[in-house]
Structure 1
Amino acid sequence: MTADPEHEAVAPAPATKAARHALIAQILAKERVRSQAELRDALAARGVSTTQATLSRDLVELRATKVRFTGGTQVYAIPEAGAPGQVKMHQGSGGDASLAEHTTARLARWCADLLVTAEWAGNQLVLRTPAGAAQLLASAVDDSMLPGVLGCVGGDDTLLVVTRDEEVAARLAGHLLALADPTARA
């Protein structure tokens, strides 16, 4: 796969339906896609070839709908996992959307109820929760689609969040700790 300066670098993905769905969700979260043809082109630019019929089924399975964007343009969007019917609007490809814009009510609630500590080293952030609660917080982090977060893994009482760089990890730690601060919830 050759590098395309218009699209950010992505790791090679397996040619599975789940990987294709994840890539479609990623594209729709970052780009204004007005048609299935544009989506097929975006997938092809990332090395994924698909038929129109398969892409149409994928969009139905992902519950993608067209929503009206600024200026009246209709673009595809996918509902957030934790909030039926809500969709994450395109925030630009530069990753300049603030953490607050991506913070769901669910993430704020779980941080307030469960987050014990947040420490980072390099691009990795380690979050601690009470025993048995890390999966709840991990799910809320994933559903929020926070800018700069590559993924997270939750254990029993520890959650590892991997970010694009140390700056993102530091900002995210501060943001999540602020959500957990009971004095901030007046």
Structure 2
Amino acid sequence: MTEESEHGGPSVPQTRTARHRRIVDILNRQPVRSQSQLAKLLADDGLSVTQATLSRDLDELGAVKIRNTGGELIYAVPSEGGFRTPQAPLGGSAKEERMRRLSAELLISAEASANLVVLRTPPGAAQFLASAIDQAELHDILGTIAGDDTLMLISRDPAGGKALADHLLRLAQNDR
């Protein structure tokens, strides 16, 4: 069962995995000081959850309270990519900078067709780069699919693949 988000975003299924993903997304995007605040944010997205379930979810995700740069105690989860120490969420520009840096380090080639872009990376790096691209939340990108050394980006624009590929290649070359 899925419900439409009040924010016009994608429908979110009422599953544990989807709820965990949404919790991580929220905690990575904004400071959350309490479980009640998190429950409200989830409810705004159509995910109704009890305090007991939310407490269990936070425990399963390894969430802890840390001090952000403003001195407030906020929930944080370990980041993806093997870094197990929870950190405060990166701002938008830091996420874009991370994507730029990883593109420069990992991008071997980019080819486009219609609204699709195929990126090549060294073996084992595609999912890492895809995660950085996803976290940068670029409006032009509908989604990513990653294998071992290849990832595919889907452009929102039906003919936007070439522009997206060119943009990523420019990002990668600016660091070299």
Same fold per TM (> 0.5)? yes
The answer to whether the Cα contact below 8 Å between 1:117 and 1:129 also exists between their aligned partners in 2 is yes
Unpaired stretches in structure 2, ≥5 consecutive residues:
none
Instruction: Name the counterpart of 1:146.
Output: 136
Change (3 A) 1:152 1:41: same
The answer to whether the Cα contact below 8 Å between 1:163 and 1:169 also exists between their aligned partners in 2 is no
Unpaired stretches in structure 1, ≥5 consecutive residues:
none
Map 1:88-167; keep pairs closer than 5 Å.
Answer: 89-91=89-91, 95=92, 97=94, 99-100=96-97, 102-103=98-99, 107=102, 112=105, 115-120=107-112, 124-129=116-121, 133=123, 136-144=124-132, 145-148=135-138, 150-155=142-147, 157-162=149-154
Distance, in Å, in 1 between the alignment partners of 2:75 and 2:156 is 26
Distance, in Å, in 1 between the alignment partners of 2:174 and 2:154 is 19
Instruction: Name the counterpart of 1:23.
Output: 22
Query: How much does 1:52 deviate?
Result: 0.6
CA RMSD of aligned residues (A): 3.1
Instruction: Name the counterpart of 1:174.
Output: 170
Instruction: Name the counterpart of 2:75.
Output: 76
Query: How much does 1:68 deviate?
Result: 1.3
Task: Tell me the TM-score normalized by structure 1.
Answer: 0.70
Change (3 A) 1:97 1:30: same
Distance, in Å, in 1 between the alignment partners of 2:156 and 2:90 is 19
Distance, in Å, in 2 between the alignment partners of 1:162 and 1:169 is 11
Distance, in Å, in 1 between the alignment partners of 2:149 and 2:44 is 40
- Aligned AA (1:175): L
The answer to whether the Cα contact below 8 Å between 2:126 and 2:148 also exists between their aligned partners in 1 is no
Deviates more, 1:40-49 or 1:119-128: 119-128
Change (3 A) 1:58 1:3: closer
Change (3 A) 1:156 1:23: closer
The 3-state SS of whatever aligns with 1:89 is: coil
The 3-state SS of whatever aligns with 1:27 is: helix
Distance, in Å, in 1 between the alignment partners of 2:109 and 2:165 is 14
The answer to whether the Cα contact below 8 Å between 1:31 and 1:90 also exists between their aligned partners in 2 is no
Instruction: Name the counterpart of 2:12.
Output: 13
Change (3 A) 1:28 1:9: farther
Deviates more, 1:169-178 or 1:54-63: 169-178
Query: How much does 1:177 deviate?
Result: 4.6
The answer to whether the Cα contact below 8 Å between 2:130 and 2:145 also exists between their aligned partners in 1 is no
1:85 aligns with 2:77: no
Change (3 A) 1:168 1:90: farther
Distance, in Å, in 2 between the alignment partners of 1:146 and 1:98 is 5
- Identity percentage over the alignment? 38
The answer to whether the Cα contact below 8 Å between 1:99 and 1:175 also exists between their aligned partners in 2 is no
- Aligned AA (1:81): E
Task: Tell me the TM-score normalized by structure 2.
Answer: 0.74
